[in-house]
Amino acid sequence: MTRTAALNKTKNKKNVPVFNTGKLLQYSENNFPIIQRDISWLSFNYRVLQEAKDPNVPLFERLKFLAIYSSNLDEFFRVRMANHRSLLRVSKKTKKELHISPKQIVRDIQRMVDRQQKEFSRIFEEEIIPELKQYNINLLRRLDLNDTQKTFVENYFKDHMLPFVQPVLLVKNKIRPFLNNAALYLTVWLHSKESNNPADEYAIVKIPSDHLPRFIELPSSSDRHDLIMLDDIVRHSVSWMFPGYSIKDTFSIKLTRDAELYIDDEFSGDLIQKIKTSLTKRQVGPASRFVYDREMPAELLDFLKEAFDLDKYDLLQEGRYHNNFDFFKFPDFGWQHLKNPPQPPMPFTALEAASDIFQQIQRKDHLIHFPFHRYDAVVRFFEHAARDPHVTHIKIVHYRVARKSQIMQALMEAVKAGKQVTVFIEVKARFDEEANLRWGEKLEQAGVNVHYSFPGVKVHAKLALVRRIEDGQQRLYSYLSTGNFHEETAKIYDDMGLFTADPRIVHEVSRIFSFLETVKIPEQGFDHLLVGQFNLRTGLEKLIDFEIEQAKLGKRAEITLKMNSLQDEDMIEKLYQASRAGVKIQLIIRGICCLVPGLEGFSENISAISIVDRYLEHSRIFIFHHDGEELIYLSSADWMVRNLSYRIETAFPIYDEQLKNQIKDFIVIQLSDNVKARIIDKDSLNQYREDESDMAVRAQIEAYYYVKRTQEGEDEPSKQA
């Protein structure tokens, strides 16, 4: 199906089924309605699953969304569900102090996930598999193999898999093997051939997907692509591993372990060593989820529960296969027509083609919009700074970074060129701790001045600063962004970044870096930036209060907020207060939204949508009407307790009128989406947003062409530059 045809099928797409998640509302400690954050997150992950079942999404992209859904869910259980399981283990006294019931939340989560997993299996078995067959891509099971393919599978097992499968016979109360986190295993139900009345016996075998590809291409005719999953090669070969036994059946299992790092919040001790110690424990943490094939008989499940010391809250049914994030690696056979049509990122000519990038930034602020623009301008900013003889200092905050990073290479080259380079590394960036520690050690070896995390506070701001000597005076240049300094995620995350030499901004960015380096509170404070731990929360509250006062005076009062997550109860209460005062509030929330829009007596003036599409919506944009002055901020911060209370974040103003108009145009495009936008409401039905327009508006495609049009209208770099 062509892109045009897909877009014109908007009305048909609305028939993609949704399901009600049940009674989701609860009340906060201050007695206003909210949706519990993890229930809201599961609703978001269902929006990802909706993409997998949308027939207008190209086939290989639907497989990718199955992978994203599964990857998201794995992290959820390793972190969030592990947290609830910990609450279940605490004393009754502590439970009474909670205004929520951990047991009820765990039950609600399990019910929602169980429904979603059944939907996942249905999509895969009844939609994806048949559509693959239409293109002669056949995912075979062991009983489907012809003789040639059986021989291939048997040889593949002996040549490649035998050293890794680790067969273990389970003996009750005697042999309890350790299950590695997220590793795939096959449980084997078998009987001894030597006994006249053989009793049930059980074993486990590892499926070595951590060593070998999950999808193996089989010999087939020229017009076919036959594949088999590694799991089914093990199933085919399992009888060889247990001579003297007859195999009755096999079922797949997987154990997910608690991945949260428990790091004290005291300002003492060696935090880096604490991180390293916690990382060694991550793979051996307590169970947070035991996934098993829903076809598994009850007696086998009972045996495994006892063998691996599991309880009912650990158990979760799935289909025949687990670790479905491996669909990221499903072979595409070079068939681009089954993927999204290309949207090649455009050059940001004003900076990429400039002979002096700093002169261009000095002339005016520049706003870059990924992934519609190339990331080259950001890379070139650092490479140019590393070579420029007038640059004396380069500073950057590193939260997540690419494994092969041109930016990090430029920083190390800058040291060789005599620059003073300072990098603040957040080693508590979840699941990136090891990579960040490796980069920290490499940078230190190169001579970079490296600062590490504060205990109790994460540094999540996306900032860089360059000091340059011009005509004997110091000149500062800054790059502030909603996303990380990561060349790879910039291709798939929707983010914005600002290059500026505006003294109002760059001097305050300099104060942030001084604080990170010295841990001394800046004497001058922040008048333009909103900075976590200083004025971010109070600044946002003041901006909302201003709109409330305008509404009470009968004036126009509006707030538009785009972010990943809205969870902070104080901010939700403030937005409810604004709605009751008559402030019109429009929300674009990709993930968690604990606020309940459109609720009588609380949020009649609040509407909310979520957009899930080919790119991950990651930019945070806050717009306040402000009596016609229209204040616009870009930010690294979501409105969650952790961002507003326990992180160094930034929200930075956009002062250039042309750039403000570009951001407002982008928001209008997002709010007009009637293809990929879902309505967020009290029922969490994830209904697709419809309007009266006959034209399909898909925001991420419209934004691409908008950027293309505005890019063509941008001034070329001056000849003097």
DSSP letters spanning 528-560: SSEETTTTHHHHHHHHHHHHHHHHHTT---EEE
Report pLDDT for 97.
53
DSSP symbol at 123: I
Query: Cβ distance 649 to 636 under 8 Å?
Result: yes
Has residue 13 got a pLDDT over 60? no
| Distance separating alpha carbons of residues 392 and 466, to the nearest angstrom | 8
pTM over 0.85: yes
Q: Is the CB of residue 408 less than 8 Å from the CB of residue 433?
A: no
Q: Which two tokens stand for residue 310?
A: 């599991």
The number of C-alpha atoms within 13 Å of 156 and in the hemisphere containing its C-beta is 23
Look at residue 495 and give its three-state secondary structure.
Answer: strand
Strand, helix or coil at 68?
helix
For 151-210, how does the pLDDT look when each residue is reduced to its tens digit (9 = 90+)? 999 999 999 999 999 999 998 777 678 888 889 999 999 998 887 777 889 999 999 999
Predicted local distance difference test score (pLDDT) of residue 195: 75
Residue 642's pLDDT band, with cuts at 50, 70 and 90, is: very high
What value does the mean pLDDT take over residues 641-650?
95
Question: Residue 424's Cα: distance from chain center in Å?
Answer: 22
Inter-residue contact 203 to 334 (CB < 8 Å): no
CB 188 within 8 A of CB 204: yes
Question: How many CA atoms are closer than 13 Å to the CA of 539, on its beta-carbon side?
Answer: 25
Taking the C-alpha atoms of residue 566 and residue 587, their distance in angstroms, rounded to an integer, is 9
pLDDT for res 31: 84
**Which residues are bridge partners to 566 per DSSP?**
593, 639
Give the tens place of pLDDT for each residue, 339-391. 999 999 999 999 999 999 999 999 999 999 999 999 999 999 999 999 999 99
In this predicted structure, the answer to whether residue 584 has a pLDDT above a threshold of 90 is yes
In one letter, which amino acid is 28?
Answer: S
What does the pLDDT read at residue 435?
79
Residue-level pLDDT at 639: 98
- 509 and 529 Cβ atoms separated by less than 8 Å: yes
- Per-residue pLDDT, 253: 94
Left if phi > 0, otherwise alpha if psi is -120 to 50, otherwise beta: which for 550?
alpha
Question: So what's the pLDDT on residue 23?
Answer: 54
Mean pLDDT lowest for which of 21-35, 67-81, 491-505? 21-35
- Judged by average pLDDT, the poorest of 430-434, 511-515, 559-563, 674-678 is 430-434
Q: Which residues of 344-355 are buried (b: 16+ CB within 10 A; e: fewer)?
A: ebbebbbbbebe
Look up residue 306 and give its DSSP letter: H
Select, from the ranges 49-63, 249-263, 271-285, 396-410, the one with the highest average predicted confidence (pLDDT).
49-63
What's residue 82's pLDDT?
72
Q: Containing H/E element for 111? A: helix 102-122
For residue 659, is pLDDT > 90?
Answer: yes
Mean pLDDT in residue range 589-595: 97
User: Of the residues 369, 460, 486, 618, which is catalytic?
Assistant: 460
User: Which of 40, 303, 49, 276 has the alpha carbon at shortest distance from 176?
Assistant: 303
Residue type, 24: L
Query: Half-sphere exposure of residue 372, counting CA atoms within 13 Å on the CB side?
Result: 22
Which of 663, 459, 648, 447 has its CA nearest to residue 561? 663
Per-residue pLDDT, 199: 86
Question: Strand pairing of 584-589 and 606-611?
Answer: parallel
Q: Where is average pLDDT lowest: 113-117, 197-201, 439-443? A: 197-201
Helix ranges (H only) for 390-502 are 406-416, 433-446
pLDDT digits (tens, 9 = 90+) for 546-562: 999 999 999 999 999 99
Confidence of residue 264 (pLDDT cuts 50, 70, 90): very low
What is d(CA 474, CA 275) in angstroms, rounded to the nearest whole number?
38
CA 290 to chain centre: 23
Mean pLDDT along residues 307-317: 87
DSSP states along 152-185: HHHHHIIIIIGGG---EEEBTTTB-PPPPTT-EE
> Which of 234-248, 269-283, 461-475, 504-518 is least confident?
269-283
Q: Are 605 and 585 spatial neighbours (Cβ–Cβ below 8 Å)?
A: yes
The per-residue pLDDT for 390 is 97
- How many C-beta atoms surround the C-beta of residue 266 within 10 A? 9
Q: Report yes or no: 448 and 422 within 8 Å, Cβ to Cβ.
A: yes
Mean pLDDT of the residues in the chain: 89
Q: What pLDDT is stored for residue 10 in this prediction?
A: 39
502/170: higher pLDDT: 502
Predicted local distance difference test score (pLDDT) of residue 400: 86
Q: Structure tokens of 555?
A: 């004036």
How many CB atoms within 10 Å of residue 513? Answer: 21
What is the pLDDT, as a whole number, of residue 2? 34
Residue 3 pLDDT level (bands cut at 50, 70, 90): very low
Q: How many other β-carbons are positioned within 10 Å of the β-carbon of residue 100?
A: 14
626 is catalytic: no
Q: Report which of 421, 433, 419, 365 is spatially closest to residue 658, judged by C-alpha positions.
A: 365
User: Is the pLDDT reported for residue 456 higher than 80?
Assistant: no
